[in-house]
Amino acid sequence: MTNLNKKQQAAARKRCNPGREPYSKTDYVSLLILCDSERLARQEAALGICPRCHEALPAGCNSLFKGGAACWFTRDFRRLNLTAVTGHAQLSDECEEQQP
């Protein structure tokens, strides 16, 4: 298990299991991994087809046409990266969908 910095520790304490004992570090990280995996599966299912090769994404042409303007691998693949800058860790779209 990775050691958490102070900011991460505070966030983990804040996100407790309501009405029960707090999550253990292992349980919390396991739940985060599971939630991320489910979110990625939803995002992959919504990708459709590549405008260049017309193959189902995310496999598509397996980057055969990477570099071509219409190829999904040229720039759009970054939406699935696990980063706070370019990838599916950005939850703004998901949060907007859940609002009534």
What does residue 36 show for φ and ψ, rounded to 5 degrees? -65, -40
Residue 72 and residue 64 in contact, taking contact as beta carbons nearer than 8 Å:
no
Domain boundaries along the sequence of the chain: 1-46, 49-100
Q: What pLDDT score does 2 carry?
A: 61
pLDDT at 39 over 80: yes
Residue 82 and residue 88 in contact, taking contact as beta carbons nearer than 8 Å:
yes
Mean pLDDT, residues 31-52? 88
Q: What is the mean pLDDT of the chain?
A: 76
The answer to whether the pTM exceeds 0.95 is no
Beta bridge partners of 56: 49
pLDDT at 47 over 80: yes
pLDDT band at 74 (very low <50, low <70, confident <90, very high): confident
**Which parts of the chain are beta strand (E)?**
none
CA angle, 77 then 81 then 83, to 5°: 145
Q: What pLDDT score does 86 carry?
A: 47
Beta bridge partners of 49: 56
Beta bridge partners of 68: 66
Which amino acid, one-letter code, is at 95? C
**Helix, coil or strand: residue 66:** strand
